[in-house]
């Protein structure tokens, strides 16, 4: 039979549905079957193209109707139909129907079909069904594993996503760049450095570590795990750095306690000709905040057009936070008033800024304005309110806000809210109530909560409860020297020198070293750091001469060094010498020598200001007619004319 005759036989088959007769010659039958097979493949290809075209035009229902008309849908057409279903307002119903229909396929365990179903179920929040779809696959590939990892991540279950990744690698799956990014991101979310580094090594072996997205994900992992040296190593090797990469490094340095490195990198970014985005600027402002570098903060934000700040809540919040924490509440308020887009985060930043700088009445009034505007107060709003009460000793107000938060607003207190309340009660001397609140908490108290109790014990000299708090803190953070030092100070204040000495021996035996006190001041865009007894600065002789002069003037006003805050059992004269050389006093003396008369002095300290320095700085502010703003690791102190904004309550 000729090809023309075969075509005629095929047309009869299509019209009548009758299979080729068995009496036809075998070669003819083979030719007819071949033509029919090619025609079937052509129809399948056309179906795919038509489904893709209709779906890409947004006609998802039409695509599903077209698929339902196909007499023999295949594993090649089902993924397009499932993708169309996933884009419907209610994709689950259509997805389940398609799943049921796909089970009739000869190859119902096809990975492409099941991966499409996995994605649809994940989008509908049906993670269990997504997992079942995956489990039906006989040989899942990289795309399928990646889809399952993404499903768990999108459901907020990053730890389980990491577990899936481990199974994938154990099965022999080799990641592509998309998989590597997903797994590294999952590890970053849960700060899983071990598994994250293992993935990064595989990425290097597979030759995908040079991919900008993979490298950025690895950088983010190291940043989230506090491994800034390794993050910098990845950053320096990247050939093509975009603004996201720069922002990750700047923000990472700032959030991991390296503010100077953050600012150095931020300004290096300008030299490279890379314009910072709002997140990079926010990271740089955070670094300025940690250093108390107000002028540098102004310089950073000066690189942007002012309208960018006023229209961007992220930038506005960062700038309000910087101004407030650098002791310039007036500038923070100005930014807040001018903001054109003020979401709840911006309002909360202003409430918190006012509260921590001693402007609790304005903070309360601002929350009242939020209520009048119909804004829904959230848990962070109450953090600001409770902080305001904590810094000013307003116990009854704090208790009222804490009660209203749960009873009127239906907000379940987080550990941070309990921490504020414990801190408030402890500072006010209500240590038993604070301890009882910890006992009644629905969650385990963390180091912040027990640290607040320990701080209250120091103020009110309750050594017994302090010992209990310290035992808890040692379990929670065994290498934090501050806990040991505070209890040692309590022992010293009570004259328990043997206990203090025993505690120091325990610290030494465990290898716990005391964090050295540091204070920073900014001058002409440069940050200067001082330590206890620091003599490294070229102006050291003048600085100590200035301290001696101030000491004589303070003693003439009745000042007596509070030697009991020195934790060592040494002679009083030696203790006085130690107190004079505390880092914040050196920083203030340096500022008095290098700034104009009447100019505000701003000092940032990494530890809490001791009671002797607090008393001395009040007198220095009166002697020099200067406003001195000191931000320690706990709160703000604005010294003016012999008084402090904290009302001696810290």
Residues 6+ apart with CB under 8 A from 478: 510, 512
Q: Is the pLDDT of residue 111 over 90?
A: no
At residue 452, φ and ψ (nearest 5 deg) are -65, -40
Helices (H), 539-603: 540-556, 572-580, 583-594
| Beta strands at 628-631 and 601-605: parallel, antiparallel or unpaired | parallel
The confidence band for 66, taking pLDDT boundaries of 50, 70 and 90, is low
pLDDT, tens digit, for every residue of 459-469? 888 888 988 99
Q: What distance in Å separates the CA atoms of residue 579 and residue 612, rounded to the nearest whole number?
A: 7
Q: Residue 472 corresponds to which tokens in the numbers above?
A: 């808890």
pLDDT grade for 622, boundaries at 50, 70 and 90: very high
Looking at the chain, the whole-number percentage of residues with pLDDT higher than 70 is: 84
The two tokens of residue 10 are: 């095929």
pLDDT digits (tens, 9 = 90+) for 634-643: 778 889 999 8
Q: At what angle do helices 463-476 and 447-460 cross, to 10 degrees?
A: 160
- Cα 78 to Cα 432: distance, rounded to the nearest angstrom: 67
How many Å apart are CA 146 and CA 264, to the nearest integer? 38
Say whether pLDDT at 72 is over 90: no
Tokens of 38: 């090619």
What mean pLDDT comes out for the span 585-609? Answer: 92
Q: What is the mean pLDDT of residues 101-105?
A: 77
* 11-25, 99-113, 148-162, range with greatest mean pLDDT: 148-162
Residue carrying the six token digits 């006010």: 428
d(CA 555, CA 557): 5
Total residue length of the chain: 650
CA distance linking residue 40 with residue 33, whole number of Å: 10
Q: Of the given ranges (33-37, 358-362, 513-517, 568-572), which has the lowest mean pLDDT?
A: 568-572
Residue 569: its pLDDT value, please? Answer: 40
> Which pLDDT tens digit goes with each residue over 143-169?
999 999 999 998 889 999 999 999 998
Q: What is the phi/psi pair of residue 644, to 5°? A: -120, 145
Is residue 373's pLDDT more than 90?
A: yes
Residue 73 has pLDDT above 70, yes or no: no
Cα 586 from chain centroid (whole Å) = 34
288 contacts 324 by C-beta, under 8 angstroms:
no
pLDDT at 24 over 70: no
pLDDT value for 400 = 95
- Please choose, from the candidates 298, 305, 345, the residue with its C-alpha nearest in 3D space to the C-alpha of residue 322: 298
Which pLDDT score, from 0 to 100, does residue 54 have?
57
Q: How high does pLDDT run on average in the chain?
A: 84
pLDDT value at 366 more than 90: yes
For residue 538, pLDDT over 60 is answered with yes
Position 305 scores a pLDDT of: 87
pLDDT at 48 over 80: no
Burial of 69 (0-12, 13-18, 19+ CB in 10 A): exposed
Name 203's Cβ contacts closer than 8 Å, sequence gap at least 6.
Answer: 175, 180, 184, 209, 214, 218
pLDDT reported for residue 84: 74
- Per-residue pLDDT band for 188 (boundaries 50, 70, 90) equals very high
Task: Give the rounded distance of the alpha carbon of 457 from its chain centre.
Answer: 31
pLDDT reported for residue 617: 94
C-alpha distances out from residue 645 to 356, 504, 560, Å: 10, 34, 22
Cα separation of 625 and 621, whole Å? Answer: 6
Asked whether 421 and 448 are in contact (CB, 8 A), the reply is no
Mean pLDDT of 89-101: 77
**Chain centroid, CA 597 distance in Å:** 41
Question: Does position 618 have pLDDT exceeding 50, yes or no?
Answer: yes
What SS3 state is found at 241? coil
pLDDT of residue 78: 73
Q: What is the pLDDT of residue 17?
A: 45
- Is the pLDDT reported for residue 10 higher than 80? no
DSSP characters for 131-174? Answer: HHHHHT-SS--HHHHHHHHHHHHHTT-HHHHHHHHHHHHHTTPP
Cα 349 to Cα 323, 352, 384, 495, 625: the distances in Å are 11, 5, 8, 43, 31
Query: Which residues lie across from 528 on neighbouring strands?
Result: 521
The strands making up 518-523's β-sheet, listed across from edge to edge, are 526-531, 518-523, 601-605, 628-631, 636-640, 643-644
Structural contact between residues 149 and 168, judged by C-beta atoms closer than 8 angstroms: yes
Residue 643, beta-bridge partner list: 640
Q: Give mean pLDDT, residues 202-208.
A: 90
Residue 21: pLDDT over 60: no
Q: How confident is the model at residue 564 (pLDDT cuts 50, 70, 90)?
A: low
Residue 368 has pLDDT above 60, yes or no: yes
**How many Å apart are CA 395 and CA 323, to the nearest integer?**
27
pTM: 0.73
Residue-wise pLDDT for 225-280, tens only, equals: 999 999 999 999 998 899 999 999 999 999 998 999 999 999 999 888 888 888 99
**Cα–Cα–Cα angle for 229, 234, 237, nearest 5°?**
125
For residue 108, what are the CA distances in angstroms to 47, 535, 597?
A: 19, 78, 83
Q: What pLDDT sits at residue 379?
A: 94
pLDDT band at residue 574, thresholds of 50, 70 and 90? very low
What average pLDDT does the segment 305-315 reach? 90
Q: What is the mean pLDDT of residues 593-613?
A: 89
C-alpha gyration radius of the chain? 34
Worst-scoring range by mean pLDDT, 137-141, 424-428, 434-438, 484-488?
484-488
């Amino acid at each position: 039979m000729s090809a023309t005759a075969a075509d005629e036989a095929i047309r009869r088959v299509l019209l009548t549905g009758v299979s080729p007769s068995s009496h036809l010659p075998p070669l003819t039958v083979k030719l007819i079957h071949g033509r029919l097979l090619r025609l079937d493949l052509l129809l399948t290809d056309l179906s795919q193209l038509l489904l893709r075209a209709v779906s890409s035009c947004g006609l998802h229902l039409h695509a599903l109707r077209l698929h339902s008309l196909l007499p023999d849908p295949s594993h090649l057409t089902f993924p397009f139909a499932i993708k169309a279903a996933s884009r419907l307002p209610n994709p689950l119903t259509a997805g389940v129907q398609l799943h049921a229909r796909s089970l009739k396929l000869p190859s119902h365990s096809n990975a492409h079909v099941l991966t499409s179903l996995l994605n649809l179920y994940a989008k509908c929040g049906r993670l269990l069904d997504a997992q079942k779809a995956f489990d039906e696959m006989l040989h899942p590939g990289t795309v399928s594993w990646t889809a399952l990892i993404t499903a768990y991540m999108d459901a907020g279950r990053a730890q389980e996503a990491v577990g899936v990744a481990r199974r994938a690698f154990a099965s022999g799956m080799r990641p592509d760049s998309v998989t590597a990014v997903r797994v590294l991101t999952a590890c970053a979310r849960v700060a899983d450095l071990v598994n994250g580094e293992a993935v990064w090594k595989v990425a290097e072996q597979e030759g995908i570590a040079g991919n900008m997205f993979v490298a950025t994900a690895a950088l983010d992992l190291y940043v989230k795990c506090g491994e800034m040296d390794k993050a910098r190593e990845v950053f320096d090797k990247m050939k093509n750095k975009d603004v996201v990469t720069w922002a990750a490094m700047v923000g990472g340095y700032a959030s991991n306690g390296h503010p100077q490195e953050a600012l150095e990198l931020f300004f290096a970014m300008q030299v490279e000709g890379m314009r910072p985005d709002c997140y990079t600027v926010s990271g740089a402002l955070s670094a300025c905040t940690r250093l108390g570098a107000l002028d540098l903060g102004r310089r950073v934000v000066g690189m942007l057009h002012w309208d960018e700040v006023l229209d961007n809540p992220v930038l506005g919040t960062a700038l309000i936070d910087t101004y407030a924490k650098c002791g310039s509440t007036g500038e923070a308020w100005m930014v807040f008033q001018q903001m054109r887009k003020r979401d709840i985060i911006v309002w909360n930043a202003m409430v918190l800024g006012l509260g921590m700088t001693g402007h609790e009445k304005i903070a309360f009034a601002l929350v009242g304005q939020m209520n009048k505007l119909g804004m829904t107060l959230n848990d962070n709003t109450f953090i600001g309110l409770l902080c305001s009460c904590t810094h000013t000793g307003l116990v009854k107000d704090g208790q009222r806000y804490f009660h209203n938060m749960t009873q009127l607003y239906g907000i379940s207190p987080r550990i941070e809210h309990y921490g504020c309340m414990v801190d408030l009660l402890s500072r006010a001397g209500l240590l038993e109530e604070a301890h009882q609140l910890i006992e009644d908490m629905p969650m385990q108290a963390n180091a912040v909560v027990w640290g607040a109790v320990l701080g209250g014990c120091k103020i009110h000299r309750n050594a017994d409860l302090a010992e209990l708090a310290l035992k808890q803190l040692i379990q929670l953070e065994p290498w934090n020297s501050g806990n040991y030092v505070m209890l040692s100070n309590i022992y010293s204040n009570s004259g328990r020198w043997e206990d203090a000495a025993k505690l120091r021996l325990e610290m030494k035996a465990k290898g716990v070293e005391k964090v050295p006190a540091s204070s920073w001041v900014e001058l002409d865009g440069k940050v200067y750091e001082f330590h206890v007894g620091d003599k490294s600065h070229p102006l050291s002789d003048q600085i100590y001469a200035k301290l001696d002069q101030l000491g004589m003037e303070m003693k003439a006003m009745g000042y007596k060094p509070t030697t009991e805050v020195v934790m060592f059992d040494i002679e009083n004269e030696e203790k006085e010498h130690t107190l004079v050389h505390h880092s914040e006093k050196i920083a203030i003396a340096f500022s008095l020598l290098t700034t104009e008369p009447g100019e505000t002095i701003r000092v940032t300290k990494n530890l809490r200001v001791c009671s002797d320095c607090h008393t001395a700085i009040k007198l220095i502010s009166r002697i020099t007619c200067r406003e001195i703003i000191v931000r320690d690791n706990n709160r703000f102190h604005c010294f003016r004319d012999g008084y402090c904004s904290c009302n001696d309550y810290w």
